[in-house]
Amino acid sequence: MSILVNRHSRVIVQGFTGKEATFHAEKCLVYGTNIVGGVTPGKGGQIHLDRPVYDTVKQAVAETEADVSMIFVPPGFAGDAIMEAAGAGIKIIVCITEGIPVNDVMLAKKYVQKQGARLIGPNCPGIITSDEAKIGIMPGFVFRKGPVGLISKSGTLTYEMANQVVNVGLGISTAVGIGGDPIIGSTFVDLLELFQRDEETEAVVIIGEIGGDLEILAAEFIKHDFHKPVVAFIAGQTAPPGKRMGHAGAIIAGSKGTALEKMTALKNAGVLVVESPAQVGEKIFEILKQH
């Protein structure tokens, strides 16, 4: 089992013929992802990476029955690309693009919800269901199938945590990079709900960071509604208030959004919170051994 995507997902790439999209789409194909085509306005009818190119997402969906889109569209056009995908019936929209104007993301997120679709990102590394489908920029060789779900704000830490989990003899069911922007499509809670229902996911690792309240909301959900073990790490424990650290959303406002606040809330919810990311693999192994 898995969440969001699997080997049967039919994937298109928006911005398909661009340099970044081409590079990463090739990696996804090698991993085994079922990419059925792509969209680049004005290049419809061409063949790229042995896949058909369409002018619009609507045309691509009509011809290929695609249900997932991976977006590599420049920031100024990415909001429209997200809404185009949702309007055409795509159900899982994975937006890799960073630097999208906040207002554009807000409008796109509302539209996606109205259409009954799900947005992952923007400014995220994507989704990978181990040994089945990779939609994004994650290094596929790190991941092996197993019982641990992974939700992360950090791309790099996603790969590192997955590697640790694999190295202790476990593996990853699905890993989701939710993105580090102030406004994102899917939250920790949204994905925890899915992992709760996935019978083959026995535990979850959460990688959070300073800024915002997504981890606080996750703690509340875990405390009352999540019934599987959780290990968490919060990045930015030494970050000074008022200074943005890396991601656009990683900024402490006053006393809100600090690493300490989030770590305390998660601990109070029964989560095993580690001080260092180097401890994640061994702790998730210990927890599953006990269960």
**Dist CA 226 CA 197 (whole Å):** 10
**247 included as an active-site residue:** yes
Task: Find the helix packing angle between 280-290 and 155-167, rounded to 10°.
Answer: 50
Handedness of CA 101, 152, 263, 225 (dihedral sign): positive
Of 8, 24, 227, 247, catalytic: 247
Token pair listed for 160 = 């590192």
Token pair listed for 184 = 């994102």
Which residues have C-beta within 8 Å of that of residue 248, sequence separation ≥ 6?
Answer: 123, 180, 181, 182
Question: Would you give the DSSP letter of residue 127?
Answer: E
The answer to whether 192 and 172 are in contact (CB under 8 A) is no
Between the alpha carbon of residue 158 and those of residues 32, 85, 154, 221, 272, the distances in Å are 20, 26, 6, 22, 18
Residue with tokens 């004005």: 42
Between the alpha carbon of residue 176 and those of residues 69, 145, 152, the distances in Å are 15, 14, 6
The answer to whether 66 and 60 are in contact (CB under 8 A) is yes
Residues serving a catalytic function are 247
